[in-house]
Amino acid sequence: MLHLEHPKTGKGLEINEFWLRDHCRCGECLNTETNQRRLDLFDLPSDVRALQHNWEKRAEEEEQLVVLWSDGHRSIYTSSFIFDSQLEQLISRRSKSTTLTTWNRSIVLQNERHLRFSLPQLVASDEQVKLLIAALVRYGIIFIDDVAPTPTMTELALRRCFPLMKTFFGEMWTFSDRQDHADTAYTQLYLRSHTDNTYFSDAAGLQALHCIEHSGDAAGGENFFVDGLHVVHELKRSYPAAYELLCRVPVPAEYIEQGEHHRHTAPIIRIDPLTGELLQLRLNIYDRAVFDTLPQQQMAEFYASLRQLLQLVRDEQQQWQVKLQPGSIVLFDNWRVLHGRHAYSGRRTMSGAYVQRTDFQSKARTLGIIE
């Protein structure tokens, strides 16, 4: 370990010497055009040591640490790079970089004006796109208004912000009560609050829905949304044992139709191992597979915990009900926000799409919205 003191603050830091050599930023060690490493781990001696090190300051530039290594290499690091690249700094930046607003029905209604965006404005302004993505990160749900009710215009609006995710449903999909897939969404039945794709190893990060038409003997079909982040916080506060169990127990999910058989097993609540914050809520009662991942002696505790979570999700105060109208797209975080639908009658056609989590976060990161 190498002991360093920050040249300005005097803060001490113990640095693993191999880590420091591994993170040399020079052109020999790092391809500065691609930001990819040039060296393999085995290109460095396992016992590499710092023979000399000292801080240097040139004019108004930031202080630099100059290190001469036992393998003959010379490295230069800025003080900010070294001190900002530590775990405690990462955790601090993540907690400060993004302000998340957890909500129930009353809170989201007070903030609804922040969730509405117009397609003509999005097309004309990159700043509007940035504001949309910032709102989507903060609240987990936004609406794009003034969209002609066609699948083509739905796609145009979504692609203004993100690339689309291709699944066996396609990139864009249109559905009604004609059962084109083995999914309850392709019916007129009531759908309880859920997240999509629990049977995928990488569930969609975002989901978009656009009501193209609802005609004939039209009634019902109101959608409702629940902030899973708010619910999980409530679960942790009110039922800590249930929270801990649902973070730990792997629950299998499955989708089967002709030519398709998807299956994935993971806990219902996924927590960021560094920050302890919610990473993903994976909750879908329709897609739960045969539950064979827990000993029978522990089943009672699991079902009691799941019941406590569902009780919170289905509390009327948590549910924001919205009647989706032709011309408005709802776009929401499928890792955070649960959605459902009341039963309906008449001819109702929806258009929709998914966005991969990594594409959502990449766009937010390049715009400086998240770390």
- Output the tens digit of pLDDT for each of the chain's 371 residues: 888 888 778 788 889 899 888 899 988 889 988 889 988 888 888 899 999 998 888 767 788 889 999 999 999 998 888 888 888 887 776 665 568 999 999 999 999 999 999 999 999 999 999 999 999 999 999 999 999 999 999 999 999 999 999 999 899 988 766 666 556 666 767 789 999 999 999 999 999 999 888 776 667 778 899 999 999 999 999 999 999 999 999 999 999 988 999 999 999 999 998 888 999 999 999 999 999 999 999 999 999 999 999 999 999 999 999 988 899 999 999 999 999 988 877 777 889 999 999 999 999 999 999 88
- This prediction has a pTM of 0.84
What the block records as the tokens of 183 is 């999914």
Residue 255: phi, psi to the nearest 5?
Answer: -130, 125
- Angle between helical axes of 299-313 and 240-248 (0-180°, round to 10): 110
Distance linking the first and last C-alpha atoms of the chain? 28
Identify the residue whose tokens are 């393999």. Answer: 40
Distance of CA 251 to the CA centre of its chain: 20
Please, which residues have CB within 8 angstroms of residue 135's CB and are 6 or more apart in sequence? 114, 115, 117, 142
What the block records as the tokens of 199 is 């049977």
Between CA 294 and CA 121 the distance in angstroms is: 51
CB-hemisphere CA count at 13 Å for 108?
26
Task: Tell how strand 329-333 and strand 116-118 pair up.
Answer: unpaired
Task: List, in sequence order, the alpha helices (H) in 61-185.
Answer: 79-84, 87-97, 105-110, 119-124, 126-139, 151-159
The number of beta carbons lying within 10 Å of the beta carbon of residue 134 is: 19
Do 317 and 106 contact (CB within 8 A), yes or no? yes
* Domain residue spans of the chain: 2-85, 96-371
The region, left, alpha or beta by phi > 0 then psi within -120 to 50, assigned to residue 44 is beta
Task: Tell how strand 141-145 and strand 116-118 pair up.
Answer: parallel
Name the architecture of domain 96-371.
Answer: 4-Layer Sandwich (3.60)
Name the architecture of domain 2-85.
Answer: 2-Layer Sandwich (3.30)
- 126 burial class (0-12, 13-18, 19+ CB within 10 angstroms)? exposed
